[in-house]
A and B are shown apart, each in its own frame.
Chain A
Amino acid sequence: MKTPAGQRRGKLAPYLFVAPNILLVLTFAFYPLVYNVVLSFQDWRLEGWRFAGLENYLKLWTDDVFWVAVRNTIYYTAGVVPPTVILALAVAVGLNRPLWGRLAIRSAYLLPNMISWVVVGLIWKWIFSAHYGILNAFLKTLGLPEQMWLQDYRLTMPCIILASIWANVGYYMVIFLAGLQSIPANFYEAAEIDGADGWAKFRHITLPLLRPIFFMVTVLAVINSFRAFDQIYVMTGGGPGRASLVLVLYIYLSAFEAWDLGYAATIAVMLFCIVFAMTLVQKRVFEG
């Protein structure tokens, strides 16, 4: 029989187990979120702060640089997500069969995803280097005109996008592979008996059954695109001019180079709203 003390101990135990983690969540996730909103209503600089009402939000509305950052972030997302998702699906479908060296091939696609965004940025910065890069050397040997790549305001985003697709494909490929492996093999066998060829099987079995995962991957890729920072910081720092300035980079520069923390927090509020909305979409699809 349990003693009253033992019962009390048993009742308290779960709370004690959960407590440290809850403390982390409150201190390092929720407190910053709330404080960030508070900051957005302040004019917070190193010299001190004052209540600013909606000033930061009005400034945001009329700040051309903010809208450039929004546009670039959307450009980046639109450039990265569709090719990444389609390539990841194609590779996953290709790999979802017994192949000689399957593990090695899968690892090759996954390797770039394990490399930090900083190193991804460094590698591609060298490939795209205008003076010492292999891409221009290749163009030169073909007799084609060389390009400035990252220093050309029209080409800088496509270059960053290409590097990011390279780094991302393997990650989503693994998610698709997990989804493909959950499709029962007898679906395909039944279709084969009915005389379906490879394309028909893909079109009528794989695609419909993979739809929830396809959607999840897309939303995830969009959310991750809105958080892009490291590789752009390394490759261009947002330049040339503002040609590759994205939202997170603008938050960083406003806060830690201009030290206008209130305004930077306002941009962060905007980014949070966008990402939160995307997460809700994702959740709805998950549950629906």
Chain B
Amino acid sequence: MRPGSHRFRKLTTAHLTIYVMLTLGAAGMLFPVLWMLSIALKPANEIFTPIPQLLPRHFAWENFAIGWQRSNFSRYFGNSLIVACGAVAFSVLFNSMAGFGLAKYRFRGREALFLLILSALMIPEHVRIIPLYLLMSKLKWVDTFQGLIIPVISQAFGVFLMRQYMTTLPDDLLEAARIDGASEWRLFWQVALPLCVPAIATNAIFQFMWRWNALLWPLIVTRTEKMYTVQLGLALFQADTSVAGGPIMAMSLVSIIPIVVIFGALQRYFIQGIALTGLKD
């Protein structure tokens, strides 16, 4: 027996133990999601029973139709899509511009302005909601899309991200375009921005996810049911017995699909974005 083989066997046992534990843990993490799926597919009589079964006996696909149409979730999904995409568009544009200005120019007050922007990270949404609400009612933005979108455009996270990324762009490239007579805006829009796709993607993904998943601000700034977002619809209709159970779980399931699809397609940016954390605004 070679001296190394014993060590190798010990290593594989340890390896196997870790593997089994990780897999069991992962199954435990997945269980609540699968349970949601199970409820979403069950008819009411299989949900409202003292001993619910793991799997549905009859598949109640109508839960999706009930949630989507009768409970008006199609409207809430549309609203959420407008809000999330609006916030992404404004965040990407303004944050990229600020990041470009801060990374590629030397000017008086640059450090101070960067610090000012970054310090917005220290003011969580939760301590701003009351003045923001008063501001919205003064502007007559309560219950409007601008009210849902504009106050929550990314103020710091995206700027930090873009500035870091744009600092790595070679100055020569910009200088060459400048000599060719390009305007400063063109330098930004046509030279710098196309090179920043990874940073833009990371910013866009996170802004979308945060806005799509948000409850607190939509709860405060909407008044009428026609302006509800998905999360608001789910939170406020869960107590309503006519929708509760299957249809609500079906709509919960549908609500996580956009995020899961984006995650599946752009996982790399997700992981990088989380690693930059502490910066959620």
Docked complex Cα distance between A238 and B150 (Å): 30
Binding site for B on A (CB under 8 A): 9-11, 13-18, 20-22, 24-25, 27-33, 35-36, 39, 91, 94-95, 97, 99-100, 103-105, 107-112, 114-119, 121-127, 131-134, 136-137, 140-141, 166, 169-171, 174-175, 178, 198, 216, 220, 227, 229-230, 233-234, 248, 251-252, 255-256, 261, 264-265, 268-269, 271-272, 275-276, 279, 282
The residue of chain B having its C-beta at the shortest distance from the C-beta of A171 within the complex is B274
Is A140 within 8 A of B126, CB to CB?
no
Partner of A20, one of B94, B188, B255: B94
- Give the Cβ gap from A33 to chain B, nearest Cβ, in Å: 5
The residue of chain B having its C-beta at the shortest distance from the C-beta of A268 within the complex is B127
Docked complex Cα distance between A143 and B155 (Å): 55
Is A119 within 8 A of B131, CB to CB?
no
The residue of chain B having its C-beta at the shortest distance from the C-beta of A36 within the complex is B131
Is B256 within 8 A of A122, CB to CB?
no
A-B contact count (CB 8 A): 259
Docked complex Cα distance between A140 and B25 (Å): 24
Partner of A220, one of B126, B215, B277: B277
Partner of A123, one of B15, B33, B153, B278: B33
Is A32 within 8 A of B94, CB to CB?
no
Q: Residue B63 at the A interface, CB < 8 A?
A: no
Binding site for A on B (CB under 8 A): 14-15, 18-19, 21-23, 25-27, 29-30, 32-33, 35-36, 39, 47-52, 54, 94-95, 97-98, 100-102, 104-105, 107, 110, 113, 116-117, 120, 122-124, 126-135, 150-153, 155-156, 159, 184, 188, 209, 212-216, 219-220, 231, 234-235, 238, 248-249, 252, 255-256, 259-260, 263, 267, 270-271, 274-275, 277-278
- Give the Cβ gap from A113 to chain B, nearest Cβ, in Å: 8
Per DSSP, chain A at the interface is helix
Is A233 within 8 A of B36, CB to CB?
no
Is B155 within 8 A of A255, CB to CB?
no
Partner of A118, one of B105, B215, B267: B215
Given contacts A21-B155, A111-B30, A178-B275, contact A230 B131 (CB under 8 A): no
Docked complex Cα distance between A99 and B212 (Å): 33
Is B238 within 8 A of A127, CB to CB?
no
